[in-house]
Amino acid sequence: MAPVTAYIGLGANVGDREAHIRSALAGLDATAGIRVMRVSTLRETEPVGGPPQGDFLNGVAALETTLPAEALRAVCRELERAAGRDLDAPRNHPRPLDLDILLYGEQRIDVRDLQVPHPRMFDRAFVLDPLAELGVEVGSLTRPERPRVISDPVLFAASQSEWLRGGCVTGLVPTMGALHEGHASLMRAAREECDRVAATVFVNPKQFGEGEDFAAYPRDLERDLEVFRREGVDVVFAPEPAAMYPDGFCTELSVGAEAADMEGASRPGHFGGVVTVVAKLIALARPDIAYFGRKDAQQVAVLRRMVADLGFAVEVRECPIVRDADGLALSSRNAYLSDSERRTACVLYRGLRAACDLHAAGERDAGVLLRASRVPIEAEPGVDLEYLELRREGDLRPLPAGPVLAGRLLVAARVGPARLIDNMSLGDP
């Protein structure tokens, strides 16, 4: 292989910092296929993030190497270990040695544990200044775009393939945009568990019925991108309907029992549209884990069934409902509510809570529990109750007769221009 010029970030803030760095440079130079060409001056730097800790000594080394980037990284890892670094310690903890591949020729690399150019170097003077000292034109380096925004399904699938080949664990967060903290909580859960996070923004026409709010649904991709960026999402797939459903598209999924009642009864065709689009998103993204909110509990039940029935190799992760301080479940559709309608809508939460409190106090009669929810909701002017159900956890099938030991209450109601849904487990605190 022809030699490649690579730049390695050097850092240490534990023990004899300079000695750690000098012996790592000697170790690199002694490795077959690596020659250390130049080393910048080392500088004192304050730590970024992590627990309170001492200042770093930082610099950059220019290497010539015939090793592939992954092999170079393995050498760096080994030298870090030899310096006494605990490689399992969380990021930004004190460390006797930090060796990061900043640049590897002109290549862009995006595999598990290795992103080149190093994604955080562009914000760090303690990397950019020494790079400039070594003659790198830092102004002409282009920061890898994060998140990448892709609208073409083929390109989205190709970008996912790259990560799969690179051994990344990938998460998928499907949304319709108009993002709020509920969506952000899904992204955070994905960020915790996955090497790469893909999110989608698609207001899916197939899941809206006649006379529903497809046209009015709030759309603001620029604002959404700020949330995706803040939550560290790697790629955002935001297709137009014509890209998802091009001329001639004629394959649709249909759904069974989980989808027949509640939302399925109120919104005919809704779940068929949901499973069709989510199946397509899963097929394009091939995620290890897909994240959904319990706010749409029946949707999660339907999607779990679809994933099991069709044999998709994806884990469905259900994340807790995020509520405002007054209890109202966050929803993009809350944007339709006036201030007074918003206050009115809180009765859904209070109604669900009333039944859960009664259950916690020992009540086991389904009729009594349902009444405890229904009475305040029906008594609230401006609320038009569509359904209130007490169902088995998980698949949301009807409860068996007899005392209610566990279950989930689900509600749908119209408040002014908005149709709202919410749910709560009898066991929720």
Is the Cβ of residue 195 or residue 224 nearer to ligand AMP in the bound state? Answer: 224
Residue nearest to ligand AMP (CB): 293
**How many other C-beta atoms are found inside a 10 Å radius of the C-beta of residue 289?**
18
Closer Cβ to ligand AMP, 121 or 322, answer by number: 322
Dump the DSSP string for 94-159: --S-EEEEEEETT--EEETTEEES-TTGGG-HHHHHHHHHTT--GGGPPPPPSSEEE--HHHHHHH
72/189 with CB nearer ligand AMP: 189
What is the Cα–Cα distance from 112 to 110, expressed in whole angstroms? 7
Nearest approach in angstroms of CB 301 to ligand AMP is 12
Looking up tokens 């200042």 gives: 55
Tokens of 59: 């610099």
Residue 6 CB contacts under 8 Å (≥ 6 apart), including other chains: 62, 63, 64, 65, 69, 72, 101, 102, 103, 104, 105
Shortest distance, position 302 Cβ to ligand AMP, whole Å: 12
Q: Residue 131 or 300: which CB sits closer to ligand AMP?
A: 300
Residue 26 in 3-state DSSP?
Answer: helix
CB of 230 to ligand AMP, least distance (A): 16
| Smallest separation, CB 182 to ligand AMP (Å) | 2
**Active site residues per annotation:** 183
CB of 217 to ligand AMP, least distance (A): 9
Question: CB neighbours (10 Å) of residue 137?
Answer: 8
Residue 420: name the closest of 356, 326, 349 by CA. Answer: 349
**Residue nearer to ligand AMP on the CB measure, 101 or 409:** 409
Q: Which residues bind ligand AMP (CB under 6 A)?
A: 175-176, 182-183, 185-186, 292-293, 295-296, 319, 321-322, 329-332
Q: How far apart are CA 139 and CA 131, in angstroms?
A: 11
Task: Give the residues across from 323 on adjacent strands.
Answer: 329
